[in-house]
Structure 1
Amino acid sequence: MAGRDISRNPSGVICTVLYLAVCLVLTGMVKFDQISEGEPIADAFDQVGMGRAKVLVGIAAAGLISVILVDIVAMGRVGFALCRSHSKLSGAAQARAVEQEMGENEMRD
């Protein structure tokens, strides 16, 4: 069933590139030993005198937390749908299913 395969998308690569870009810009703004561990991006803006940007970053962080919580709830639904479709069995699960079928056939004979 080729139509049911999960498509590949470049989102992981895009996220990695964006993450590295933010890290490079952050270390360009503030020396790496002066970056705050609690809220590094907001603190970096504050250290360079951009207090308004610090507020915007704080608001964006609160929004990201809510998105992450919604994604966690959605993961359960997606996992349930994948398990219910029976199309994505792992190699070990397929082997177990074959062994069970063989065992049932031997018991019938």
Structure 2
Amino acid sequence: ARILSPQTVEALAARHRVGLYDHTFRAALDWGLGVVVNSAWHGEADAPHSFGPHASLRAYGHSGFRSTAAFCDPEPGLVVAFALNGTPAEAAHRRRAHHLCGAIYEDLGLSGEGYNP
């Protein structure tokens, strides 16, 4: 059963704060209502909450202390949640999350040539 209306989901995932420097994540991020909207377009390939190299700009979600994340990408209809062992330094966590998210899209055939959402 549906918990949130489509209008509520759209409001949560819309960009309400765009491109402002976030002092916690030390990067320019776009925020919805309680979630980060894919902010990779600001220039950092492995920006916090970029959700990997294949995520659409509509992807949104949030992560926990350098070990967990959950996000949704409406373009391919993908929902991902992961929990990793250990809490490496922020840069190392960004790299591993970026690579993990990329691998998920690739393994599911949601990237590269021939993919048409």
TM-score, length basis structure 1 = 0.29
- The structure that has the greater radius of gyration is 1
Q: Which has the higher contact order (CA 8 A, sep 6+)?
A: 2
Select the structure that is richer in helix: 1
Select the structure that is richer in strand: 2
